[in-house]
Amino acid sequence: MKAAHGKVVSLHYTLTDDHGLVLDTSRERGPFTYLHGYGNIIPGLENALNGCEAGFSSVVQVAPAEGYGEYNQQAVFEVPRAQFPPNEDIQVGMQVQGEGAHGIVTFTVVAVNDSGIVLDGNHPMAGKTLHFDVEVLEVRDATAQELDHGHVHAHGADH
């Protein structure tokens, strides 16, 4: 069976950056399973896996535009310190949340100074070329409920 819209794909992957640094891997957690064609993984990887069968193994390079997007410098801005709780210890690298036009938005703290906190609204992997070492383990038909919900249900689980 081939990976196509409405099929459930299980795979192992190791994600590295341009320098070979491992950013994420499924090898210690167990296979990653998703519903193909429903936007549940980044477009570049899903496109590369389209038509693949169990046993397929490859290194897939995904450009920023097909991954987490290009880095947007306009998504970096300073917020007055007064907008944070006075006793909160804000440090570089922390993630904070705020209310956006479409719900909750996550920001990464990139600088802290006397007047404010500099936040970055880009995804941490925005602007990066991603290298996925993938191995497709299984491709199966999705259940009617998985198709209806648009995602995989683990071992018959419901919600």
Sorted by where each begins, the domain ranges of the chain are 7-68+126-156, 73-120
Q: What's the whole-number mean pLDDT along residues 64-89?
A: 93
Q: What is the pLDDT of residues 1-48, one digit of tens each?
A: 999 999 999 999 999 999 999 999 999 999 999 999 999 999 999 999
| CA end-to-end span of the chain | 27
Strand order in the sheet with 76-80: 76-80, 116-120, 103-112, 95-100
Q: How far apart are CA 159 and CA 45, in angstroms?
A: 27
Same fold, 7-68+126-156 and 73-120: no
Which pLDDT belongs to residue 4?
96
Query: In this prediction, what percent of the chain has a pLDDT beyond 70?
Result: 97
Query: Does domain 73-120 bear CATH number 2.40.10.330?
Result: yes
> Among 3.30.70.1880, 3.10.50.40, 3.40.50.970, 3.90.400.10, what is the CATH number of 7-68+126-156?
3.10.50.40
Rounded to 5 degrees, φ, ψ at 154 are -70, 125
Query: Where do we find the tokens 């683990």?
Result: 154
Query: Of all helices (H) and strands (E), which one includes residue 62?
Result: strand 57-62
Which pLDDT belongs to residue 99?
84
Report which DSSP code applies to 2. B
CB-neighbour burial class of residue 130 (10 A; exposed 0-12, middle 13-18, buried 19+) = buried
50 falls in which pLDDT band (50, 70, 90)? Answer: very high
Question: Dihedral angle at the C-alpha atoms of 97, 14, 39, 70, nearest 10 degrees?
Answer: 60
Whether this prediction's pTM lies above 0.75 is answered by yes
Mean pLDDT score of the chain, rounded to an integer?
93
